[in-house]
């Protein structure tokens, strides 16, 4: 047995001894509590409203609720808001809340909780604060009605209320008059969601129990356990051994074929609105020079990247946005094609000739291991080999996601960065990455015309007009190249047979948001 495989089995054995690793069957037990176990990494907290906490998004939708949700297919679906009206001028949104909803501690959920949450996110400059900048007034005429007035029309506002990097509604009675960032309920959350917090053993597991009075209906499983596993190979051993039912960690594309041969496992390739991208830090030389950015883009063979690293299970990105959002995609907004000779010429023109050692410059790529997206480290090494061919020496700064977020997203201390993210299917999500105030705009890219076009797209409900604005944005990004879109991502999903209702499965994508396990049920 290899050392890594021995380590994997040792960890599983330790978890079993700890009482959180009782082997699971491929079929639900005929009686007794039904437990569904998910393998993922330990989050820093369970509240991503105020600070960007990447791993919290994998847990939070099962404990907390949003006003509306965005399904895996991109549709706006009711949640705490059961219905809504928009005024003729597009500036007033009247939300009718679900009635009879209670927090997990038994207190009633009301419009006051919504008002408090929105105002606190804005006041604390939380992750979604920039998305709420247009809100001028929130009124709560009764416990089940919220009236939100905007400074100007915003056709994307419902999407804002449910967007992945948006905000969850928090209990006012537990957060009011506290330091919301240090509030203890960030680590023992009280929500309105389908499962209630039981315990969090840091580094080991999180246990949730069913909320039998959930306003969307009682889930079919009694317990949802997140078992914290740092490494994908360990998660796969646990999955095959029956220690977990599925993993939110991204499976290697090279493993998919082998896993498909396992009779205990089900696999599916889930389409996604995710782009993997390489961003340039525009605060630093040499990236302020567009010729350098174009040269680096032209030196990367994205077709080979999709073929070699991703085993042809993803498509290379030739445009700057998602091809799957056909109504808004601009096929003419193309990134530089692979052309090493062109890349070398651009670097010569920009004043970066090869030196006596044949090198032009030394740069660093920052990325992170253990992403929900498989392949980011492998992509970094692939790009390193590509750029070396044009005389660019590359070192790789590999960290975990929390350290990467702090260094790249918060402090801007990097040369180039590789990451992924949800860009659709609502095209306004693209603003989170390339608008000057975008929460994921690590490049510090600022183009007033891009900001203006996103703004115009929000003002009109006419889809064709909006599409025209989004196509113009893509053309500008293709010209400015603050980043390079690399591949259009597809998720390899794997889970143990005997359960259905995963958010990525056909038949559930239209009603479940990402990472929601409230529809999971045993399958005879």
**Does the pLDDT at position 15 exceed 50?**
no
CATH of segment(s) 68-175: 3.90.76.10
Residue of 475, 368, 514, 209 lying closest to 467 (CA atoms): 475
Query: Using one digit for the tens of pLDDT, what is the confidence trace for 132-151?
Result: 989 999 999 999 999 999 99
Query: Using one digit for the tens of pLDDT, what is the confidence trace for 430-482?
Result: 999 999 989 899 999 999 999 999 999 999 989 999 999 999 999 999 999 99
Fold for domain 271-490?
Dipeptide-binding Protein; domain 3 (3.10.105)
Question: Mean pLDDT for the chain?
Answer: 90
Identify whether the C-beta of residue 514 lies closer than 8 Å to the C-beta of residue 61: yes
**Does the pLDDT at position 239 exceed 90?**
yes
Two tokens, residue 344: 């070398």
Q: What is the mean pLDDT of residues 408-420?
A: 95
Cβ neighbour number for residue 272 with a 10 Å cutoff? 22
Rg of the chain, C-alpha, whole Å:
23
**Does the pLDDT at position 369 exceed 70?**
yes
Residue of 236, 178, 154, 204 lying closest to 454 (CA atoms): 154
Query: What is the percent of the chain where pLDDT is above 90?
Result: 74
Cα 229 → chain centroid: 19
Q: How far is CA 9 from CA 178, 205, 220, 354, 362, in A?
A: 44, 17, 31, 50, 41
Strand partners, 276: 420, 487
pLDDT score, position 456: 96
Strand partners, 94: 85, 147
Q: What is the mean pLDDT of residues 231-249?
A: 91
Strand partners, 23: none
Two tokens, residue 221: 């499983």
Q: Where are the alpha helices (DSSP H) in 283-426?
A: 290-298, 302-308, 340-349, 376-388, 401-404
Q: CA–CA separation, 71 vs 162, rounded Å?
A: 9
Q: What angle do CA 253, 258, 263 make, to 5 degrees?
A: 130
Cα 383 → chain centroid: 23
Confidence at 374, pLDDT banded by 50, 70, 90: confident
Q: CA–CA separation, 218 vs 210, rounded Å?
A: 7
Identify whether the C-beta of residue 378 lies closer than 8 Å to the C-beta of residue 309: yes
Query: What is the percent of the chain where pLDDT is above 70?
Result: 93
Phi and psi torsions of 277, nearest 5°:
-140, 160
Phi and psi torsions of 342, nearest 5°:
-60, -40
Beta strand 315-316 with 145-150 is unpaired
In this prediction the pTM is 0.77
CA atoms within 13 A on the CB side of 132: 24
Q: CA–CA separation, 338 vs 345, rounded Å?
A: 13
**Does the pLDDT at position 13 exceed 70?**
no
Query: Using one digit for the tens of pLDDT, what is the confidence trace for 153-186?
Result: 999 999 889 988 889 999 999 999 999 999 999 9
Residue of 466, 499, 486 lying closest to 418 (CA atoms): 486
Torsion over CA: 50, 56, 60, 63 (sign): negative
Q: CA–CA separation, 509 vs 516, rounded Å?
A: 10
Please state which of the ranges 19-33, 192-206, 305-319, 509-523 shows the lowest mean pLDDT: 19-33
Residue 319 DSSP symbol: B
pLDDT score, position 371: 67
Query: Using one digit for the tens of pLDDT, what is the confidence trace for 18-73?
Result: 334 333 333 333 334 688 998 887 888 999 999 877 788 889 999 999 999 998 77
pLDDT score, position 23: 35
Say whether 117 sits in a helix, a strand or coil. Answer: helix
Identify whether the C-beta of residue 167 lies closer than 8 Å to the C-beta of residue 442: no
Q: CA–CA separation, 159 vs 245, rounded Å?
A: 31
Domain locations in the chain?
3-50+193-264+497-522, 68-175, 271-490
Residue of 198, 336, 234 lying closest to 278 (CA atoms): 336
- The DSSP-derived string for 251-297 is PPHHHHHHHHT-TTEEEEEEEEEEEEEEEE-TTSTTTTSHHHHHHHH
Say whether 320 sits in a helix, a strand or coil. Answer: coil
Say whether 14 sits in a helix, a strand or coil. Answer: helix
Two tokens, residue 497: 């047979």
Phi and psi torsions of 62, nearest 5°:
-95, -10
User: CATH 3.40.47.40: does it fit domain 3-50+193-264+497-522?
Assistant: no
Confidence at 3, pLDDT banded by 50, 70, 90: very low
pLDDT score, position 463: 92
- The DSSP-derived string for 86-111 is E-TTS-EEEEEEPSS-B-TTSPBP-H
Two tokens, residue 376: 């980011």
**Does the pLDDT at position 17 exceed 60?**
no
pLDDT score, position 255: 86
**Does the pLDDT at position 100 exceed 90?**
yes
Burial class (CB in 10 A: 0-12, 13-18, 19+), 91: middle
Q: In what order do the strands lie in the sheet with 81-86?
A: 81-86, 92-97, 145-150, 135-142
Q: CA–CA separation, 233 vs 96, rounded Å?
A: 46
Residue of 509, 366, 459, 423 lying closest to 165 (CA atoms): 423
Confidence at 257, pLDDT banded by 50, 70, 90: confident
Q: What is the mean pLDDT of residues 377-395?
A: 97
């Amino acid at each position: 047995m290899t050392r890594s495989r021995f380590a994997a089995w040792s960890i599983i054995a330790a978890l079993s001894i700890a009482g959180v690793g009782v082997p699971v069957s491929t079929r639900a037990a005929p009686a007794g509590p039904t437990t569904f176990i998910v393998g993922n990494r330990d989050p820093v907290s369970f509240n991503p409203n105020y600070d960007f906490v990447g791993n919290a998004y994998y847990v939070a939708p099962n404990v907390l609720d949003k006003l509306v949700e965005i399904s895996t297919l991109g549709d706006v679906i009711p949640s705490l808001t059961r219905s809504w009206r928009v005024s003729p001028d597009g500036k007033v949104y009247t939300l009718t809340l679900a009635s009879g909803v209670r927090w997990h501690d038994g207190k009633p959920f009301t419009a006051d909780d919504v008002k408090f949450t929105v105002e606190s996110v804005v006041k604390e400059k939380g992750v979604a604060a920039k998305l709420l900048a247009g809100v001028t007034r929130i009124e709560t005429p009764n416990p089940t009605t919220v009236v939100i007035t905007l400074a100007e029309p915003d056709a994307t506002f419902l999407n804002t209320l449910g967007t992945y990097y948006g905000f969850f509604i928090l209990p006012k009675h537990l957060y009011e008059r506290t330091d919301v960032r240090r509030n203890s309920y960030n680590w023992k959350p009280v929500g309105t969601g389908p499962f209630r917090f039981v315990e969090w053993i840091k580094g080991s597991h999180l246990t949730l129990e069913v909320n039998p009075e959930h306003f969307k209906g009682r889930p079919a499983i009694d317990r949802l356990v997140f078992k914290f596993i740092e490494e994908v190979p360990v998660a796969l051993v646990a999955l095959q051994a029956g220690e977990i039912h599925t993993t939110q960690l991204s499976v290697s594309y090279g493993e998919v074929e082998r896993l498909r041969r396992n009779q205990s496992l089900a696999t599916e390739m889930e389409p996604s609105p995710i782009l993997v991208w390489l961003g340039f830090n525009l605060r630093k030389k040499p990236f302020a020079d567009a010729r350098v950015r174009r040269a680096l883009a032209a030196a990367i063979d994205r077709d080979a990247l999709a073929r070699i690293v991703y085993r042809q299970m993803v498509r290379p990105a030739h445009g700057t946005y998602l091809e799957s959002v056909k109504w808004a995609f601009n096929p003419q907004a193309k990134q530089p094609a692979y052309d090493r000779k062109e890349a070398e010429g651009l670097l010569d023109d920009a004043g970066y000739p090869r030196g006596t050692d044949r090198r032009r410059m030394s740069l660093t790529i920052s990325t992170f291991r253990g992403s929900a997206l498989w392949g980011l480290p492998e992509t970094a090494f692939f790009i390193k080999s590509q750029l070396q061919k044009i005389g660019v020496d590359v070192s790789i700064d590999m960290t975990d996601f929390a350290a990467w977020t702090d260094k790249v997203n918060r402090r801007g201390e990097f040369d180039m960065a590789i990451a992924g993210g949800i860009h659709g299917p609502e095209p306004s999500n693209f603003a989170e990455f390339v608008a000057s105030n975008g929460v994921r705009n690590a490049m510090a890219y600022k183009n007033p015309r891009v900001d203006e076009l996103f703004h115009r797209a929000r003002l009109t409900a006419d889809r064709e007009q909006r599409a025209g604005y989004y196509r113009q944005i893509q053309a500008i990004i293709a010209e400015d190249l603050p980043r390079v879109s690399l591949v259009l991502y597809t998720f390899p999903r794997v889970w143990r047979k005997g359960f259905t209702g995963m958010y990525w499965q056909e038949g559930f994508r239209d009603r479940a948001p990402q990472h929601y396990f409230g529809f999971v049920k045993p399958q005879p």
